[in-house]
Structure 1
Amino acid sequence: MELLDTLIVGAGISGLSLAHALHKEATNPSSLKILVAESQGRVGGNITTVTAGGFLWEEGPNSFSPTPELMKLAVDVGLKQELIFADRKLPRFVYWQKKLQPVPMTPPAMIQSQLLSFPGKLRALFGALGFVAPAMGAGLSQQGNEETVSQFFRRHLGQEVMQRLVEPFVSGVYAGDPQQLSAAAAFGRVAKMADLGGGLMAGALLSAKNRPKKMPADPNVPKTRPGELGSFKQGLKALPEAIAAELGDRVKLNWHLTRLDRTERETYIAVFSTPDGQQEVEARTVVLTTPAYVTADLLQPLQPEVTSALQAFTYPTVACVVLAYPQSDVKEKLVGFGNLIPRGQGIRTLGTIWTSSLFADRTPAGWHTLTSFIGGATDSEIGNLDSEEIVREVHRDLSRILLKPDVPQPKVLAVNVWKRAIPQYNLGHFDRLQQIDEGLKSLPGLYLCSNYVGGVALGDCVRRGSDLAREVGDYLQNKQSDTRSI
């Protein structure tokens, strides 16, 4: 049995980014032995790009913010000419009191916005300037002095901002419940600004002043501007597929990890169920990029304390519904990123991406494609509906917001029900991560790298994989060399 340097379990964007970084940063890449094992028959994890009948759509993540790490990775794997970006000037909308209201993106737009009342704007201004009551109370003490997203933003910016701007954003990013999400975990940068300056505006200014100078830009990486969203000409799947192609036979598909053991030599034995029967692999280091609930089961025999913390993460059910309508069915020309819907508006759908407005050439002429998300932490019942029932719910909501009266049923491109969609950064998040870190000290060489740690966006996943590659590389370098084969 050959001894691997690193076994990576999971070929989503986290695992593939890690493998790419390990291979690239290795002193002698040809001698570094890496294996990426994926239980599915394809790479990409939640990235699900589909094409059919002249349509191209996504059933998981729909785009990415062009972070430096993600852009560099795309260029490294040969996708520079495949990058596309949506017009950053496209407006975002919130559906409030039966009207689509543009989200104010600048101070002048905030002043003119009809989304907030005059008292609501005044309350937000005073809060941003630092006129904020301290976080206190019996309820907060019971929460370990940790504020929820709802508590934090109501305290700083008022009820209107919380309900009409923050809550729909939370639905769009986490499909979460603002009364359960931890403000410090889900909005870490904003919470730190408030702590730094006493108010959000002062904190933002101080953060900008104290921000370390940027490294010189890589001239080979295309420049982007704030607010842009990116993808690839053939959809997001282009990135994981390009990384996998670069890794070649180091990636194994349909390999399902059934057991993980630690040896007396401080290596790990992984047992896989594969199309060719049971396979055993030994590795100096193992990185699990699997969801928390999968990782919990794998680590139960090795570290029950880590398993206990992992089991506390919740993943609500979310359905991605992709529908196509003739342009004549839409009330007005759709120009924008899409719309989000606060709870309490009589609309069950969380939000809709105006896919055909966002990226050109993904929809046949004369059609609009709308990608809607429904369910989440505040609507667990969505998992009990079948596909036809979910389509009816979404079509009814779209009829109230975007469509003309009495339009016929749409062309249904996809109904993908993610039974366990997005990990929730709920109260106690940092305590859980600390418990995991403490438990992993007894398992040197074993690492966790998934979106329940450090952000759920694609850019977060790429950054996390790149950062961990350095840690794994240092461990391998410092560890006394064993014989490479048994």
Structure 2
Amino acid sequence: MELLDTLIVGAGISGLSLAHALHKEATNPSSLKILVAESQGRVGGNITTVTAGGFLWEEGPNSFSPTPELMKLAVDVGLKQELIFADRKLPRFVYWQKKLQPVPMTPPAMIQSQLLSFPGKLRALFGALGFVAPAMGAGLSQQRDEETVSQFFRRHLGQEVMQRLVEPFVSGVYAGDPQQLSAAAAFGRVAKMADLGGGLMAGALLSARKRPKQMPADPNVPKTRPGELGSFKQGLKALPEAIAAELGDRVKLNWHLTRLQRTQRETYIAVFSTPDGQQEVEARTVVLTTPAYVTADLLQPLQPEVSSALQAFTYPTVACVVVAYPHSDVKGKLVGFGNLIPRGQGIRTLGTIWTSSLFADRTPAGWHTLTSFIGGATDSEIGNLDSEEIVREVHRDLSRILLKPDVPQPKVLAVNVWKRAIPQYNLGHFDRLQQIDRGLKSLPGVYLCSNYVGGVALGDCVRRGFDGAREVGEYLQNKQSDTRSI
């Protein structure tokens, strides 16, 4: 049995980014033995790009914020000319009291916004300036002084901002419950600003001053502007497929990891079920990029403490519904990123991306494509509905918000029910991570690299993969040095 340097379990964007970075930064790439094992028949994980009948759509992530790491990765794997960006000036909307209200993105827009009342604006202003009550109370003590997203933003910016801006954002990003999500975990940068300056505005100014100077930009990486959202001409799947093509036969599909065991020489034996029967590989390091619940089962025999912490992560059910309507069915022009819906508005859908407005040439002439998300932590019943029932729910909601009266059922492109969609950064998140870190000390060479740590966005996944590659590379170098000194 050949001894691998690194076995990466999972060919989602985290695992592929890590494999790419590890291979690229190796002193002698040709001698570095890497294997990426994926249980599905394709790479990309939750990235699901589909084309049919002149339509192109996404059933998982829909776009990315162009972080430095993600942009560099795209250029490195030959996708520079494939990058596309949506107009950053496209407005975002919140459906409030039966009207689509633009999300205020600047102070002047906030002053003019009809989304917040005058008292609500004053409350947000005073809170941002630092006139904030301390976090205290019996409920907070029971939470070990950890605020929920709801508690944090109500305290800092008031009830209206929380209900009409933060809550729909939480639904759109995490499909989460703001009364369960940890503010420090889900909004870490904002929480740190508040701690640093006493108020969000002062904290933002102090954070900007303390921010380290950026390295000179790579001239080969296209420049982007704040607020832009990116994709590729052929959809998001272009990125994982390009990385996999670069890695070649180091990527194995339909390899399902069934058992992981440690050897006496501090390596690991991984047993896989594959199309060619059972396969065993031995590796100096193992990186598990699998979801928390899968990783928990794999590590239960090796490290029950880590497994227990991983089992505590929850993943709500979310359905992605992609539908198309003729232009004549839609009220007015759809120009914008999309709309989010606060709870309590009589609308079940969490939000809708106006796909045909975001990226051109993905929809046949005369059609609008809309991608809606429904379910999440506050609507667990969505998992009990069949596809037709889910479409009816979404169509009913769209009829109230975007469509003309009595519009017939849409052209249904996809209904993808993610039974376990997005890991929730709920109260106790950092305690769980500390428990995982403690337990992993007894498993040298095992690393976890998945979206239940450090952010759920694509840019977070790429950054986490790059960071993980550095850790693994240092471990391998140190082990090599130890071997030479014996």
TM-score by structure 2 length?
0.99
Deviations 1:92-118 (A, max 9, x none): 000000000000000000000000000
Mapped contact 1:2–1:485 kept (Cα < 8 A):
no
Q: Distance in 1 between the 2:215 and 2:179 partners?
A: 39
1:395 deviates by 0.1
Q: In structure 1, the residue corresponding to 2:485 is in which secondary structure?
A: coil
1:424 deviates by 0.1
Q: In structure 2, the residue corresponding to 1:24 is in which secondary structure?
A: helix
Mapped contact 1:38–1:254 kept (Cα < 8 A):
yes
Q: Equivalent residues in 2 for 1:36-435 (5 A)?
A: 36-435=36-435
1:484 deviates by 14
Note closer, same or farther for the CA distance 1:149–1:27 as it changes in structure 2 (3 Å cut): same
Q: In structure 2, the residue corresponding to 1:416 is in which secondary structure?
A: strand
Q: Distance in 2 between the 1:283 and 1:311 partners?
A: 25
Mapped contact 1:168–1:340 kept (Cα < 8 A):
yes
1:475 deviates by 0.3
1:482 deviates by 9.6
Note closer, same or farther for the CA distance 1:483–1:198 as it changes in structure 2 (3 Å cut): closer
Mapped contact 1:64–1:458 kept (Cα < 8 A):
yes
Mapped contact 1:143–1:427 kept (Cα < 8 A):
yes
Mapped contact 1:193–1:199 kept (Cα < 8 A):
yes
Mapped contact 1:36–1:250 kept (Cα < 8 A):
yes
1:485 deviates by 20
Note closer, same or farther for the CA distance 1:2–1:445 as it changes in structure 2 (3 Å cut): same
Note closer, same or farther for the CA distance 1:40–1:251 as it changes in structure 2 (3 Å cut): same
Mapped contact 1:3–1:484 kept (Cα < 8 A):
no
Q: Distance in 2 between the 1:358 and 1:293 partners?
A: 34
Q: In structure 2, the residue corresponding to 1:71 is in which secondary structure?
A: helix
Deviations 1:440-462 (A, max 9, x none): 00000000000000000000000
Q: Distance in 2 between the 1:470 and 1:371 partners?
A: 37
1:30 deviates by 0.3
Note closer, same or farther for the CA distance 1:483–1:274 as it changes in structure 2 (3 Å cut): farther
Q: In structure 2, the residue corresponding to 1:35 is in which secondary structure?
A: strand
1:159 deviates by 0.1
Q: In structure 2, the residue corresponding to 1:484 is in which secondary structure?
A: helix
Deviations 1:421-448 (A, max 9, x none): 0000000000000000000000000000
Mapped contact 1:272–1:279 kept (Cα < 8 A):
yes
Q: In structure 1, the residue corresponding to 2:119 is in which secondary structure?
A: helix
Q: Distance in 2 between the 1:426 and 1:209 partners?
A: 31
Q: Distance in 2 between the 1:40 and 1:184 partners?
A: 34
Q: Distance in 1 between the 2:126 and 2:482 partners?
A: 63
Mapped contact 1:168–1:341 kept (Cα < 8 A):
yes
Deviations 1:256-279 (A, max 9, x none): 000000000000000000000000
Q: In structure 1, the residue corresponding to 2:127 is in which secondary structure?
A: helix
Note closer, same or farther for the CA distance 1:461–1:484 as it changes in structure 2 (3 Å cut): farther
Note closer, same or farther for the CA distance 1:36–1:483 as it changes in structure 2 (3 Å cut): farther
1:480 deviates by 3.8
Mapped contact 1:288–1:295 kept (Cα < 8 A):
yes
Deviations 1:117-156 (A, max 9, x none): 0000000000000000000000000001000000000000
Mapped contact 1:4–1:33 kept (Cα < 8 A):
yes
Q: Distance in 2 between the 1:318 and 1:344 partners?
A: 19
Q: In structure 1, the residue corresponding to 2:81 is in which secondary structure?
A: helix
Count of matched residue pairs: 486
Deviations 1:331-388 (A, max 9, x none): 1100000000000000000000000000000000000000000000000000000000
Q: In structure 2, the residue corresponding to 1:479 is in which secondary structure?
A: helix
Q: Distance in 2 between the 1:340 and 1:463 partners?
A: 27
Note closer, same or farther for the CA distance 1:57–1:484 as it changes in structure 2 (3 Å cut): farther
Q: Distance in 1 between the 2:9 and 2:109 partners?
A: 47
Q: Distance in 2 between the 1:72 and 1:476 partners?
A: 25
Q: In structure 1, the residue corresponding to 2:270 is in which secondary structure?
A: strand
Deviations 1:19-51 (A, max 9, x none): 000000000000000000000000000000000
Q: Distance in 1 between the 2:243 and 2:225 partners?
A: 25
Deviations 1:262-321 (A, max 9, x none): 000000000000000000000000000000000000000000000000000000000000
Q: In structure 1, the residue corresponding to 2:483 is in which secondary structure?
A: coil
Q: In structure 2, the residue corresponding to 1:323 is in which secondary structure?
A: strand
Q: In structure 1, the residue corresponding to 2:480 is in which secondary structure?
A: coil
Mapped contact 1:14–1:462 kept (Cα < 8 A):
yes
Q: In structure 2, the residue corresponding to 1:352 is in which secondary structure?
A: strand
Q: Distance in 1 between the 2:339 and 2:256 partners?
A: 39
Mapped contact 1:352–1:370 kept (Cα < 8 A):
yes
Q: Distance in 1 between the 2:348 and 2:105 partners?
A: 26
Mapped contact 1:194–1:203 kept (Cα < 8 A):
yes
Q: In structure 2, the residue corresponding to 1:480 is in which secondary structure?
A: helix
Q: Distance in 1 between the 2:138 and 2:105 partners?
A: 36
RMSD: 1.5
Q: Distance in 1 between the 2:485 and 2:361 partners?
A: 51
Q: In structure 2, the residue corresponding to 1:81 is in which secondary structure?
A: helix
Note closer, same or farther for the CA distance 1:332–1:446 as it changes in structure 2 (3 Å cut): same
Q: In structure 1, the residue corresponding to 2:35 is in which secondary structure?
A: strand
Q: Distance in 2 between the 1:179 and 1:109 partners?
A: 28
Mapped contact 1:69–1:463 kept (Cα < 8 A):
yes
Q: Distance in 1 between the 2:46 and 2:225 partners?
A: 26
Q: Distance in 2 between the 1:320 and 1:39 partners?
A: 22
Mapped contact 1:4–1:484 kept (Cα < 8 A):
no
- Deviation above 4 Å: which 4+ runs of structure 1? 481-486
Q: Distance in 1 between the 2:70 and 2:302 partners?
A: 34
Mapped contact 1:2–1:484 kept (Cα < 8 A):
no
Q: Distance in 1 between the 2:363 and 2:484 partners?
A: 52
Q: In structure 2, the residue corresponding to 1:140 is in which secondary structure?
A: helix
Unpaired runs of 5+ residues, structure 1, are none
Q: Distance in 2 between the 1:333 and 1:212 partners?
A: 43
Q: In structure 2, the residue corresponding to 1:8 is in which secondary structure?
A: strand
